[in-house]
C-alpha cells in the first residue's frame, strides 16, 4: 500500500514537545485574539458582525504600517521600496472589500435582533480609518472631538492630522525633480485638506507626456491612483452593504448613514491625477 503523505504520522520530524519552545499559537497570541469576540447579545449573527469588523481593523493596521513607511521612503527618495509598499496596500484593500460580501449575508431582520446592544458604538468612530484618511490627505480635524476622552489616542490622531500626507510628499518629489511649483503648495499647512493647484497639474501632465524621462514619478502616480481607486471601491461596497442591511436609518454613531457614505464618495484624494485623464 502506498504511504499516505497527508498523514502527520508519516512526518517523522514533526515537533511535538513544546514545553520549552514557542508554539504557533504563542507567536500569534491566539489566546488573546480568539477570546476577543464577546457578544453582547445571544444572537447567533453577532459573532459574524464582530469578526468582520475586527478583521477589517487588522487589515487597516497593516495598511497604516505600509502607508507610513511608503511616505518615509518617498521622502528619502527610495521610490522602489515605496512602490512595493503601495502595491501591497492595494492587495490588502481587495481583502477588506471582500469582507463586505460576507457581512452582506446578514439580513435586516437578523441585525435588528442585536443592533440596540451596540449603543452609540459605530464604525464611524474607527480611529485607524481616520488615520488612513489623514495619510492619504483627507484632513477632518473636527472629527477628532470623538476621541477626546482618550488623551493618548487624541494626541496620536492630532499628530497624524498635522503630518504630510502621501500626496504632499509626492508633490515634494515633483519639486525635487526640478518642476516649478507654487511654493505655497510645496510647504503648506498639512492639517488642511489639499484642494488642487495648477502648477501641480502641469507637472503631472509633463510626467505623463514624458514617461521615460520621469519613470519613477510616473510609477508613483499610477500607484497612488491604484490606492485611491480601491479605496473608493471599498467605500462604495461599504455604502451598499449598509443600505442593504439598515436602509436609510441613522447610524448607531449618529451619522446619516447611507447619505453620509454617499457624500464621501465624491471626495478625491489626488485630484490632478484624475483630472489629467481628461486633459492629456
DSSP letter string, 149-173: TSHHHHHHHHHHHHS--HHHHHHHH
Domain tally for the chain?
A: 1
User: How far are the Cα atoms of 115, 122, 152 from residue 226, in angstroms, in the given order?
Assistant: 35, 28, 33
Is 50 annotated as belonging to a binding site? yes
Angle at 23 between CA 19 and CA 25, to 5 degrees: 130
Q: Is residue 182 part of a domain?
A: yes
Residue 244: inside a domain = yes
Is 49 labelled a binding residue? yes
Cα 19 to Cα 21: distance, rounded to the nearest angstrom: 6
Cell numbers at 34, concatenated: 480568539
| 35 part of a folded domain | no
pLDDT values of the chain reduced to their tens digit, one per residue, 280 residues: 444 556 666 777 888 788 888 999 999 999 999 999 999 999 999 999 999 999 999 999 999 999 999 999 999 999 999 999 999 999 999 999 999 999 999 999 999 999 999 998 888 899 999 999 999 999 988 889 999 999 999 999 999 999 999 999 999 999 999 999 999 999 999 999 999 999 999 999 999 999 999 999 999 999 999 999 999 999 999 999 999 998 988 878 888 788 888 888 888 999 999 999 999 9
Residues sharing a CB contact under 8 Å with residue 106, sequence separation 6 or more, in sequence order: 45, 48, 49, 245
Whether 131 is covered by a domain: the verdict is yes
The answer as to whether 26 is a domain residue is: no
Residue 25 located in a structural domain: no
Domain span at residue 240 reads: 45-108+127-278
Q: Is residue 13 part of a domain?
A: no
Contacts of 204 (CB under 8 A, 6+ apart): 174, 221, 272, 273, 276
The answer to whether 53 is annotated as binding is yes
- 167 labeled part of a ligand binding site: no
Query: What CATH number did the domain enclosing 231 receive?
Result: 1.20.58.480
Is 252 assigned to a binding site?
yes
Torsional class of 188: left (φ above 0), alpha (ψ -120 to 50), beta (otherwise): beta
Q: Is 97 annotated as a binding residue?
A: no
166 part of a folded domain: yes
The phi and psi torsions of 227 (rounded to 5 degrees) equal: -60, -45
How far is it, in rounded angstroms, from Cα 200 to Cα 68? 23
Amino acid at each position: 500500500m502506498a504511504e499516505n503523505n497527508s498523514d502527520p504520522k508519516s512526518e517523522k520530524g514533526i515537533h511535538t514537545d513544546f514545553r520549552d519552545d514557542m508554539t504557533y499559537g504563542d507567536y500569534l497570541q491566539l489566546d488573546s485574539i480568539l477570546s476577543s469576540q464577546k457578544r453582547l447579545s445571544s444572537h447567533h449573527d453577532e459573532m459574524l458582525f464582530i469578526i468582520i469588523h475586527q478583521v477589517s481593523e487588522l487589515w487597516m493596521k497593516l495598511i497604516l504600517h505600509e502607508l507610513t513607511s511608503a511616505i518615509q521612503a518617498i521622502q528619502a527618495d527610495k521610490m522602489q521600496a515605496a512602490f512595493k509598499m503601495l502595491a501591497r496596500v492595494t492587495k490588502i484593500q481587495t481583502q477588506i472589500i471582500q469582507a463586505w460580501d460576507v457581512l452582506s449575508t446578514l439580513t435586516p431582520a437578523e441585525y435588528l435582533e442585536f443592533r440596540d446592544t451596540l449603543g452609540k458604538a459605530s464604525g464611524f468612530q474607527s480611529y485607524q480609518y481616520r488615520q488612513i484618511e489623514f495619510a492619504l490627505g483627507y484632513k477632518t480635524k473636527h472629527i477628532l472631538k470623538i476621541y477626546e476622552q482618550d488623551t493618548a489616542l487624541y494626541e496620536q490622531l492630532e499628530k497624524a492630522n498635522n503630518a504630510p500626507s502621501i500626496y504632499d510628499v509626492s508633490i515634494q518629489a515633483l519639486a525635487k525633480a526640478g518642476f516649478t511649483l507654487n511654493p505655497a503648495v510645496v510647504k503648506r499647512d498639512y492639517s488642511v485638506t489639499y484642494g488642487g493647484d495648477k502648477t501641480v497639474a502641469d507637472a503631472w501632465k509633463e510626467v505623463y507626456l514624458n514617461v521615460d524621462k520621469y519613470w519613477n514619478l510616473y510609477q508613483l502616480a499610477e500607484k497612488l491612483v491604484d490606492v485611491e481607486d480601491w479605496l473608493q471601491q471599498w467605500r462604495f461596497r461599504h455604502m451598499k452593504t449598509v443600505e442593504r442591511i439598515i436602509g436609510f436609518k441613522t447610524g448607531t454613531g449618529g451619522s446619516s448613514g447611507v447619505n453620509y457614505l454617499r457624500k464621501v464618495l465624491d471626495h478625491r484624494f489626488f485630484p490632478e491625477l484624475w483630472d489629467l485623464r481628461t486633459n492629456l
